Amino acid sequence: MTNVLVLVDHEGPQPHSTVPELLTLARSVAAGGEVHAAWVGDGWGPAAAQVLGGHGVGTAHVVAVEGADAHLTAATVDALRAVLERVETSLLLVASTFEGKEVAARLAVLAGAGVVTDATTVEVGADGRVVAGKAVLAGSWATRCAVTAPLAVVTVKPHAVRAAGVERAADPVVVEHRVQASAAARAVQLLSRAPRPRGDRPALAEAEVVVVGGRGTDGDFAPVEELADVLGGAVGATRVATDEGWIGHEAQVGQTGVTISPRLYVGAGVSGAVHHRGGMDASVTVVAVNEDPDAPIFEFADYGVVGDLTEVLPALSAEIRRRRG
C-alpha cells in the first residue's frame, strides 16, 4: 500500500486526456493507498474536481506559484517540491510529453530522484521499489527498470493504460499551496503567451488514431488529412516530409520529433526507418501503405497494402464513410 502523486496537465479548467489514464494507473499501483493530484496554476474549479474525483483522487493539491509563470517547467518543479513535502510517497507519475520529461529531469536533480521516461507499465515490487516497464532501441527490447532512489519519477506514454472511473466518485479534498518561485523560475521573463491555433483534430501526442505521411506523399497530404479526419485522428509526418516543408515540424513523429502511442497508426508512403520507428513503436495496431514491397515498415506492420497511397487512402476514406452511413 503506497500513496501516489500525479501531476495534472491542463488547459485552463480542463485536464488533458492523459490525466484519467494516469489516475487509473495510480489507483492500480496504490493498492489501497491514496491517490494525490498536483494542480499547478489557474483553472481549478468544479469541472476539474469532477474529473479528478471521478477517477479516484483523494486529495487535490492546488498550487499557486508566485513570482513566475506557472507554465514554466521550473515553476512546476517548485510546485511539486512543495507538494512532496506534504505527501508521503515514493512515486510521482507525469505524462510523457516534452514538458513532462523536462519537469522530471529538473525535479530529479533537485530531489535526488530516479527517473524512467516513456514507461508503459508501473508497479511496486515486494521490496517496495518502483519498477517501470518500457520498450527501447526502436521497440526491439522490452525492459524493466527498478528505481533505487527514495523517489521515483515516471513519465508514462499516452494510451499505455485504458482510463476507467471509480464506482463511487467523490470530490477530492482540496489543499491549497502558495509557493515562492525559485531563482531558476524567476530567471525567465515571459513577455507574452498566445495559444497555438488548433482545429478539430486531437493533439498528436495524445491521439488514439494517427495517420502519418512520408516521402511517398510527394508533398500532397490531402489524402492523409482526409483519412485522419474520417477516423477522428491526428496527422503526423516523417522527418523527410517536414524537412521538405510539406508540413510543419510540429507534426514530425520519431526519435527527434513527437513520440506517439496510438491505438491505430496508419503510415502512408512511410519507409519505416529506425529513427521514425523509435517514435511510434508503442502503437497498438500498425497499418502500412507503400508502393515499395521491400519497405522496412512491412516488417513490423500488422496490416500492409502494397499500392499507391493516392488511390488506397481515398478509397479507404470513402468505404469508411459508406459503412457509417
Closest alpha carbon to 161 in 199, 198, 119: 119
Please give the mean pLDDT across all residues of the chain. 93
Non-local CB neighbours of 90 within 8 Å, separated by 6+ positions: 2, 124, 128, 130, 150, 151, 152
Q: Which residue has the higher pLDDT, 252 or 195?
A: 252
Rounded average pLDDT over 223-243: 95
Torsion of CA 189, 194, 196, 197, to 10 degrees: -170
What would the grid cell of residue 272 be? Answer: 519505416
* Neighbouring residues of 85: CB distance < 8 A, sequence distance ≥ 6: none
Report pLDDT digits (tens) over 91-150. Answer: 999 999 889 999 999 999 999 999 999 999 999 988 889 999 998 876 678 999 999 999
Cell numbers linked to 180 = 515562492
- The cell for 74 is 521550473
- pLDDT, tens digit, 9 for 90 and up, residues 207-228: 999 999 999 999 999 999 999 9
> Does residue 87 carry a pLDDT above 90?
yes
* Predicted local distance difference test score (pLDDT) of residue 101: 94
Q: Is the pLDDT of residue 167 over 80?
A: yes
pLDDT at 1: 64
Return d(Cα 202, Cα 289) in angstroms, integer: 23
Please choose, from the candidates 99, 114, 117, 175, the residue with its C-alpha nearest in 3D space to the C-alpha of residue 147: 114
Q: With 80 as the cut, is the pLDDT of residue 171 above it?
A: yes
CB atoms within 10 A of CB 100: 22
Domain locations in the chain? Answer: 4-186, 204-324
Residue by residue, DSSP assigns 42-88 as S--SHHHHHHHHHTTEEEEEEEEEETS-TTSHHHHHHHHHHHHTTS-
Among all chains, which residue has been given the C-alpha cell 527490447?
A: 141
Pairing assessment for the beta strands 130-136 and 121-124 based on DSSP bridges: antiparallel
Tens digits of residue pLDDT in 1-22 = 689 999 999 988 999 989 999 9
Confidence of residue 196 (pLDDT cuts 50, 70, 90): low
Q: Does the pLDDT of residue 83 top 90, yes or no?
A: yes
pLDDT of residue 197: 63
Residue 197 is classified by DSSP as: P
Helix H or strand E segment including 147:
strand 141-147
Topology alike, domains 4-186 and 204-324: yes
**Range scoring the smallest mean pLDDT among 52-56, 127-131, 139-143, 273-277:** 139-143
pLDDT higher than 90, residue 55: yes
Mean pLDDT of 258-279: 93
Helical spans, DSSP H, in the chain: 18-30, 46-54, 73-84, 98-111, 183-186, 222-231, 239-243, 274-277, 309-324
- The CATH code of domain 4-186 reads 3.40.50.620
Give residues with Cβ within 8 angstroms of 321, minimum separation 6. Answer: 230
- CATH superfamily assigned to domain 204-324: TPP-binding domain (3.40.50.1220)
Strand partners, 111: none
The answer, yes or no, to whether residue 50 has pLDDT greater than 70, is yes
Please give the pLDDT value at position 127: 86
Please choose, from the candidates 192, 226, 7, the residue with its C-alpha nearest in 3D space to the C-alpha of residue 99.
7
Q: Which contiguous run of DSSP H or E holds residue 159?
A: none
